[in-house]
Amino acid sequence: MHITQLNRECLLHLFSFLDKNSRKSLAKTCHKLLEVFQDPLLWSLLNFHSPAELKKDNFLLGPALKYLSICWYSERVKVCNIEDWMKNDFQKDFCNRHENTVNDFLLEVCNRCPNLLSLTLSGCGHVTDECILLLLKNCPNLKTLKLENCVRITDQTLEAVTLYGGLLQTLHVDFCRNITQTGLERVREKCPSVMLRAERSANMIPDNKPEKKLMLEKVSRKLVQL
């Protein structure tokens, strides 16, 4: 039996075992397989392992998407996690190439994927509070939000959770160094049913620009003199 003789249900099942590139390659072979590739039911789960993958045309975004994961574990992710004011020209140039990639992609998710249930972001150093806020507003069914090593995430995201995360059940903000204990306590107070985890976040040293550090040093000296 030729593969095209299988019914739609069988073809969807076969496609589900393939990665995104293999699905795209198979879809190019005939019109029937292209229709299977374009079936929203095939795209309820998406996993990405680098920002570059977000720009490819080997997947579809739509209302069927329920589970989304963008996890970047490359050594290069360390560059994005350096404080902006500490980066040299080479590091800034590297970051500028993909600074808005994840944010722009998540905005597309906001517009096309209102039924999203779970979002995991790891190593996405350029993701902003504003982007997570929009996502919480536009994906009201979100139950799981896991943020790891997302250095631009602050207490503003935690505040957005208390306002718009009505169905949220699980919240992780691990190694997000600009999260504070105050913000975490507010989530625990306002959303007691949420399973909150913040490994190392509130215990890490937050980003401070040089002028802020100087002010802190001056205050410390005054306290010592007193």
pLDDT grade, residue 169 (50/70/90)? very high
What percentage of residues in the chain have a pLDDT greater than 70? 78
For residues 114-139, average pLDDT: 94
Question: What phi and psi, each to the nearest 5 degrees, are found at residue 20?
Answer: -60, -40
Query: What pLDDT does residue 223 have?
Result: 45
Q: Closest Cα partner for 141 from 160, 112, 113? A: 113
pLDDT band at 11, cuts 50/70/90? very high
Instruction: In whole angstroms, give the CA distance from residue 217 to residue 220.
Output: 5
Same domain assignment for residues 195 and 205: yes
User: What whole-number distance in Å separates Cα of residue 65 and Cα of residue 114?
Assistant: 8
Residue 172, beta-bridge partner list:
146, 197
55-93 burial: b if 16+ Cβ within 10 Å, else e = eeeebbbbeebbebebbbeeeebebbbbeeeeeeeeeee
Mean pLDDT of 23-45: 95
Same domain, 47 and 57: yes
Same domain, 3 and 52: no
Distance CA 67, CA 73 (A): 19
Q: Helix or strand or coil: residue 174? A: strand
Q: Is residue 226 part of a domain?
A: no
Taking the model in full, what pTM does it have? 0.81
* 60 shares its domain with 15: no
pLDDT of residue 219: 46
- Strands 67-71, 195-197: pairing is unpaired
131 and 79 housed in the same domain: yes
CA distance 32 to 177: 49
Summarize the confidence of residues 140-150 as an average pLDDT. Answer: 95
Query: What are 87's two structure tokens?
Result: 């980066």
CATH of the domain at 122: 3.80.10
Per-residue pLDDT at 151: 87
Q: Are residues 53 and 21 in the same domain?
A: no
- pLDDT at res. 142: 97
The lowest-confidence range among 28-42, 83-97, 98-112, 123-137 is 83-97
* Per-residue model confidence as pLDDT tens digits over 78-102: 655 556 655 666 556 656 666 678 8
Query: Are residue 13 and residue 124 in the same domain, yes or no?
Result: no
- pLDDT mean over 172-193: 94
Clarify whether residues 149 and 204 are in a common domain: yes
Structural domain range at position 118 = 43-219
CATH number at residue 27: 1.20.1280
Tens digit of each residue's pLDDT (9 = 90 or more) over 184-222 = 999 999 999 999 999 988 776 666 665 555 555 554 554
Q: Is the model's pLDDT at 118 over the cut of 60?
A: yes
In a domain, 225, yes or no: no
Together in a domain, 109 and 73? yes
Nearest to 46 by CA among 132, 105, 134: 105
Question: Considering its fold, how many domains does the chain have in total?
Answer: 2
